[in-house]
Amino acid sequence: MNAVVVYGATGHTGRFVVEELLRQDLQPVVSGRNQAALESAWPALEIRPAAVDDPRALDQALKNAAAIINCAGPFAATADPMIDAAGKAGIPYVDVAAEIEANVSTYARHSATPVVPAMAFYGGLGDLLATAALGERTTADEVHVAYGLTSWHPTPGTRAAGQVSHDRRNGRRLRFADGALQYHDDKPALEDWAFPEPLGRRRVIPEFTMADVVTIPSHLAVPEVRTYMTVEAAGDLANSDTPAPMAVDELGRSDQAFVVDVRIRIGGEERRATARGQDIYAISAPLAVGAVRRILAGETRSTGVASAGAMFDAVEFLNDLPLTLDLP
């Protein structure tokens, strides 16, 4: 059986992932805690309910599967049990975690099978862009990843994961400097960032730290990685009244537009890579499914736990995504 188990298949991103597997002629098996919700959402697919605190049920959910994509946050609770189950089953594990501490924990693990965390809009896409911009180089002085989002309507899962991260940090902020993650209490400042069109110059919050500060330095020697977020998107996220995403097209995507702009400094040289697209949750699906498809086809450059940029040919992967790209 060459089924790919999607854990968290009734969530917003999980639904996109299941649809993407079907689009790429891969066989999804849907899993999660709530059997009734799974049956309602995916009546035509095989359903394997399991709770993350039930190892026996997880073993059954992964029986004879080819791979697992974990879309169920908070990943602080789900990643370790799912990776353990995948390891017992001898299959690859991919997740869409944007939780920095959960990603750090995953990278600290050892695995005999491929494990690719943060294979999503946050973490995976920025890492691929930075890797593509560097080409054959594996070192740089600074990497800056600016997220230009026209809006951010967070899902309930995003809000839950964000609260977990906030609580784990006791409200402190994070930066990656001098080659390490650093917690701090500095107040956020504002800067201008000149995004490519269609966004143009926007106000951003520097050190709005996302999973790229884990994925990029996991395989590139970069002492400083900074991520930035447009003020509009950060405001949406902070507002508890901001509704969840609403579909505006036949693919289920929202009207959210994004630009991810990566700038890398190497001495006096700057390299830049940019991606434009629609809906940060929707784009996570071809990222995660593309990772599984390449692993199963043996199209990998690393083993064990590795980021997107270390595991795959970054330029080839990016060119296969529904994005408008500007690469060096």
* Residues 175-184: tens digit of each pLDDT: 999 999 999 9
Is residue 24's pLDDT more than 60? yes
pLDDT above 60: residue 1: no
pLDDT at 197: 84
Of 65, 70, 66, 67, nearest to 81 by C-alpha is 70
- Token code pair at residue 37: 């919700």
Q: How many CB atoms lie within 10 A of CB 291?
A: 26
- Return phi, psi of residue 189, to 5°: -105, 180
Q: What is the pLDDT of residue 186?
A: 87
Structure tokens at 20: 């993407």
Beta bridge partners of 274: 261, 326
Q: Which backbone phi and psi does 150 adopt, to 5 degrees?
A: -70, -25
Query: 82 and 97 in contact (C-beta within 8 Å)?
Result: no
Whether omega before 198 lies within 30 degrees of 0, making that bond cis, reads yes
Superfamily classification of domain 122-280 = Dihydrodipicolinate Reductase; domain 2 (3.30.360.10)
Give 167's pLDDT tier (boundaries 50, 70, 90): confident
Query: H or E segment at 37?
Result: helix 35-41
Domain boundaries, the chain: 3-120+284-316, 122-280
The terminus-to-terminus CA distance of the chain in angstroms comes to 41
* Domain topology for 3-120+284-316: Rossmann fold (3.40.50)
Mean pLDDT computed over every residue of the chain: 96
Kindly report whether the peptide bond that precedes residue 74 is cis, defined as omega within 30 degrees of 0.
Answer: yes
Q: What is the DSSP secondary structure assignment for residue 31, as one 8-state letter?
A: E
R_g of the chain, CA atoms, integer Å: 19
Which of the residue ranges 28-32, 188-192, 285-289, 290-294 would you say has the lowest mean pLDDT? 188-192
Read off the amino acid at residue 280: I
Inform me whether the pLDDT recorded for 104 exceeds 60: yes
Which region, left, alpha or beta, applies to residue 214 given φ > 0 means left and ψ of -120 to 50 means alpha?
A: alpha
At 187 the pLDDT is: 87
Location of structure tokens 């390490």: 180
For residue 155, pLDDT over 60 is answered with yes
pTM over 0.95: yes
pLDDT of residue 2: 81
Q: Greatest CA span in the chain, whole angstroms?
A: 58
The mean pLDDT of 112-117, rounded to a whole number, is 97
Q: Do the Cβ atoms of 3 and 74 come closer than 8 Å?
A: no
CA distance 316 to 313: 6
Burial label, 160 (beta-carbon count in 10 A; 0-12, 13-18, 19+): middle
The pLDDT value recorded for residue 164 is 84
